[in-house]
């Protein structure tokens, strides 16, 4: 079964919109785990507009499943990850003012930088993953950095899913095959939702984990967080 890691950035956004501690981020993370999710993901950004760096520290104390911290490996982020030591760090090349992640790494151009950062994390016992587009060259480049896994950036799949499912999934199937041949674990995330997750899972071999936040929280407004987590788990079987 593919593991479900729930990104709780949007919970932090809601909390920050009023100040204070409602909703309580750590309590929500614990509830999500109790509903059956196998991981918690956070993506702290330098301006801390949703997840704060202290949140990442506080969550380490209570997350009982896999703990994944995403982000652009600027020095502040690297220091945080080395301090917290999550289960996994996912490296994302987003600009400091990006609303959301919008591209994968150029693993050829940034090979040396990624290799150095990844080596630092792995020496400290932290599993590494690189956010990449479904591009064969980028997958091959990722393998040369020493990363444990890649996370396939799935926005293009989600955008085209309604028009032509078989065409939208093709580059991801090819990317997954190449990744498996190169010994890379496969994660995926971005705009996956209850409508498209089952199809994606069924067509991507060796899919270890999906990270879902925005859609899952939005769907929970209608169906409830407990129900939605269970709905995803059912579709990922």
- Give catalytic status of residue 190 as yes or no: yes
Q: Given 33, 70, 151, 219, which residue is catalytic? A: 70
Q: Residue 153 phi/psi, 5° resolution?
A: -80, 110
- What does the alpha-carbon distance between residue 78 and residue 72 come to, in Å, rounded to a whole number? 9
Q: Given 33, 50, 190, 209, which residue is catalytic? A: 190
> Which ranges constitute the DSSP H helices of the chain?
9-18, 25-34, 53-60, 75-84, 111-123, 136-143, 155-160, 165-181, 197-203, 214-223, 225-235
- Give catalytic status of residue 43 as yes or no: yes
- What does the alpha-carbon distance between residue 88 and residue 21 come to, in Å, rounded to a whole number? 26
Q: Given 33, 43, 50, 209, which residue is catalytic? A: 43
CB distance 167 to 160 below 8 Å: yes
- What does the alpha-carbon distance between residue 9 and residue 171 come to, in Å, rounded to a whole number? 28
- Give catalytic status of residue 203 as yes or no: no
Pairing of strands 185-189, 66-71: unpaired
Residues classed as catalytic = 43, 70, 190
């Amino acid at each position: 079964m593919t593991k479900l890691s729930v990104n709780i950035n949007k919970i932090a956004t809601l909390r920050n919109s009023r100040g204070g501690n409602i909703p309580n981020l750590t309590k929500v993370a614990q509830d999500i785990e109790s509903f059956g999710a196998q991981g918690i993901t956070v993506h702290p950004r330098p301006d801390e507009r949703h997840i704060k760096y202290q949140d990442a520290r506080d969550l380490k104390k209570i997350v009982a499943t896999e703990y994944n911290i995403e982000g652009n490996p600027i020095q502040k982020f690297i220091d945080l990850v080395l301090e917290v030591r999550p289960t996994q760090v996912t490296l994302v090349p987003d600009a400091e003012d990006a609303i959301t992640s919008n591209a994968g790494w150029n693993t050829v151009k940034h090979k040396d930088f990624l290799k150095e950062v990844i080596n630092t994390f792995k020496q400290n016992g932290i599993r590494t993953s690189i956010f990449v587009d479904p591009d064969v060259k980028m997958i091959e480049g990722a393998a040369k950095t020493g990363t444990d896994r890649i996370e396939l950036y799935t926005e293009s799949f989600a955008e085209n899913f309604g028009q032509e499912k078989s065409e939208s999934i093709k580059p991801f199937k090819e990317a997954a095959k190449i990744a498996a041949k190169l010994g890379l674990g496969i994660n995926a995330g971005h705009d996956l939702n209850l409508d498209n997750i089952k199809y994606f899972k069924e067509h991507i071999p060796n899919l270890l984990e999906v990270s879902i936040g925005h859609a899952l929280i939005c769907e929970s407004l209608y169906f409830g967080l407990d129900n939605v987590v269970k709905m995803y788990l059912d579709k990922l079987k």
